[in-house]
């Protein structure tokens, strides 16, 4: 599975590890930031918390991943990756 992704993304193993690390740290940062933001307004046990949390995380995730990608040297990869996602979702034209 990892080999197929590496070939699809056309990267070497070192860059592949950096990309996966960026995904992991960016996702974790996004979850922590979303929880931190919402904890000021709502309790985690409140149903409204989860109704707001999911769209908030969806909006925060690209920013967190881009932020984390800078020190790992993967910013260009993630800009292109996010553009492809936006095209597939119909948010931007190809």
Work out how many domains the chain is built from and give that number: 1
The CA distance from 77 to 66, in Å, is 10
Domain interval for residue 28: 2-89
Q: Is residue 69 part of a domain?
A: yes
Model pTM? 0.81
For residue 6 the two structure tokens come to 């590496």
Q: Is residue 17 part of a domain?
A: yes
Q: Is residue 94 part of a domain?
A: no
| Tens-digit pLDDT profile for residues 28-78 | 999 999 989 888 888 777 788 889 999 999 999 999 999 999 999 999 999
The CA distance from 81 to 76, in Å, is 9
DSSP letter at 59 equals: H
Q: Is residue 49 part of a domain?
A: yes
The CA distance from 6 to 46, in Å, is 41
């Amino acid at each position: 599975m990892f080999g197929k992704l590496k070939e699809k993304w056309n990267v070497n193993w070192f860059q592949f590890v950096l990309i996966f690390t960026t995904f992991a740290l960016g996702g974790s940062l996004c979850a922590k930031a979303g929880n931190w933001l919402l904890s000021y307004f709502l309790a985690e046990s409140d149903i409204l918390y989860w109704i707001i949390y999911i769209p908030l995380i969806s909006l925060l995730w690209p920013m967190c991943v881009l932020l984390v990608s800078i020190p790992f040297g993967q910013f260009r990869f993630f800009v292109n990756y996010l553009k492809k996602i936006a095209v597939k979702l119909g948010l931007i034209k190809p």
